[in-house]
Amino acid sequence: MQLDWTYFFSLFSMGAFYRASATVIALGSLSWLFGLVLGFGLAQADASHARWLRWPARCYIWFFRSVPLLVLLVFVYNLPQIFPATGVVLSIPFLAGLVGLVLTEAAYMAEIHRGGLQSVVKGQREAAHALGLGWLATQVRIVLPQAFRIALPSLINEFVTIIKLTSLVSVISLPELLLTGQRLYTQNFLILETLLAVAVYYVAIVTVFGAMLNALERRLELGRRQPDALLEPMLSELRAGLGSAPLVAAAVPGSGAPPALELQNIHKAYGAHAVLKGVNLKVSTGDVISIIGPSGSGKTSLIRTVNALERIDQGEIVLFGESYIKGGAPVDAQRTRQGIRRIGMVFQSFNLFPHLTVLQNILMAPGLHGQGSRDEQRAAALRLLDKVGLLAHSSKYPHQLSGGQQQRVAIARALALRPDVMLFDEPTSALDPELVGDVLKVIQDLAAEGMTMLIVTHEMEFALQISRRIVFMENGLLQVDVTPDQLRHSGAEPGDAMARVRRFMGLEMVAQ
């Protein structure tokens, strides 16, 4: 038996197949788009801490991944027999097919999105929190772009699957490609030629739309973006239009002014493990306090409570004389967010937003919080970059910078909100030794200009040079709170707290 090639090629000039192809494209694309959106909502609900959101989402995903699509399509199309009011929509084969496909694909898309969401590291959400971004802004500006880029290869594969699954809607008499072919070969019995043509139509649709989606994937791939640095003539011209301004406004504490920050009896435990056991600390405006101590002493947990990255179990945090966070009390989201905007944070792992350029990272928070006009925000951001020595790299992406450069961008990003207090969590521990100096120089400049700072660090010599006070933590308590001069020159008896600090810092005992 030979194929009738003349008949086969004639099928590519037949209008019925092109109309069927349009149906397949419309049905597949709409199912993919609606499933994409609904699946993202399901993935968010599945990741929620609220059971009333999490369990319905998981039940939906379990059920619609378990029911065969063919059975679902027949059920949906015949649902008006049970609920006549649905006949307005579901009696139309195209809409019934769309509903059935979306219900099924949303369950599969939810799992794809869940993988993408889990791939966005926790530090990205923490950085957004530290910039005062709300949940919605964090999802739209930070999480969704990264999760979508990570999940896109799987989503493209799911699009191909949906296009092929549209062949099942023939069971509800929707004239897509397969049903159009079936109607032809039942008349002329040229089954192989007709099905071969149907396969070619499907391959063509998948190839064209797959190429479009693959082009989108390549466009979003950060590794393909080439570094873009400004040359010196352009830099000089740009600097001339920026003017000069300090990194921060000089802090001048007024007579009788309240402390910039006051921690009162702070307790924090993770389960049965208590990490903070009643910490009290008063930070005056313009103070530079280095927090040192062995690993596990509670240093990082302490400063993370200051900007509400960790909730406190007991105690109170007072910001410029106003209650800001209170342990055991309901969270006042608005007051907390207002307080967070007055506190800048620089993380150990930088936590820059990888899908944004250096300049976009810095402009993110001022733009969302409406701090001045766009031109003013841009000029301020470029001045900050110039101050930290990275103006030439404003158009680069974080992965195109060294670790030291990334940390300096992180400092500039935190400063863009014009905070009153800066927190540094081991700002140099993730850097190679030769990169540490540039970051410490920026912090020294901040101290010289009067910024109030809390710095968790293991750089002992740096702590002695820059700090007004050095706080030693151990076993969840503040054991010593002294000035660098007291550490250098005061005597200490073996076994007392001061001796412990000097030994930790590697200082020689100085006898009185």
For residue 16, count other CB atoms closer than 10 A to its CB. Answer: 14
Q: How far apart are CA 6 and CA 4, in angstroms?
A: 6
Alpha helices (H) in 139-258, listed in sequence order = 144-165, 177-188, 191-220, 232-240
Domains of the chain, each with CATH number or no CATH: 5-220 (1.10.3720.10), 285-302+342-505 (3.40.50.300)
Task: Report the chain's C-alpha Rg in angstroms.
Answer: 31
**Can you read off the two tokens belonging to residue 267?**
């307790």
In this structure, are residues 316 and 278 in contact, taking their beta carbons and an 8 Å threshold? no
For residue 234, count other CB atoms closer than 10 A to its CB. Answer: 12
Helices and strands per DSSP (H, E), number in the chain: 21, 10
Q: How far apart are CA 42 and CA 220, in angstroms?
A: 24
Q: What is the pTM of this model?
A: 0.86
Q: How far apart are CA 178 and CA 165, in angstroms?
A: 11
Tens digit of pLDDT for each residue in 393-436?
888 999 999 888 999 999 999 999 999 999 999 888 877 777 78
Q: How far apart are CA 486 and CA 498, in angstroms?
A: 9
In this structure, are residues 142 and 128 in contact, taking their beta carbons and an 8 Å threshold? yes
Q: How far is CA 33 from CA 25, 216, 228, 267, in A?
A: 12, 15, 34, 48
pLDDT of residue 252: 56
Q: How far apart are CA 201 and CA 18, in angstroms?
A: 9
Q: How far apart are CA 306 and CA 504, in angstroms?
A: 25
In this structure, are residues 123 and 351 in contact, taking their beta carbons and an 8 Å threshold? yes
Q: How far apart are CA 132 and CA 343, in angstroms?
A: 9
For the chain, 512 residues long, the average pLDDT of each consecutive 10-residue run is: 84 91 95 95 92 94 95 94 90 94 96 93 93 91 92 94 93 89 87 91 94 90 72 65 61 69 93 91 92 90 92 92 86 85 92 94 92 88 89 90 91 92 88 81 88 91 89 91 83 70 71 41
Give the residues across from 264 on adjacent strands.
316
Q: How far apart are CA 385 and CA 467, in angstroms?
A: 25
**Can you read off the two tokens belonging to residue 263?**
């921690």
- Please choose, from the candidates 282, 308, 331, 323, the residue with its C-alpha nearest in 3D space to the C-alpha of residue 454: 282
Q: How far apart are CA 443 and CA 48, in angstroms?
A: 38
For residue 154, count other CB atoms closer than 10 A to its CB. Answer: 16
Alpha helices (H) in 299-352, listed in sequence order = 299-306, 333-340
Q: How far apart are CA 415 and CA 422, in angstroms?
A: 8
Looking at this protein, which amino acid is placed at residue 36? Answer: L
- DSSP type of residue 298: S
Sheet containing strand 261-270, strands side by side: 273-283, 261-270, 314-319, 322-326
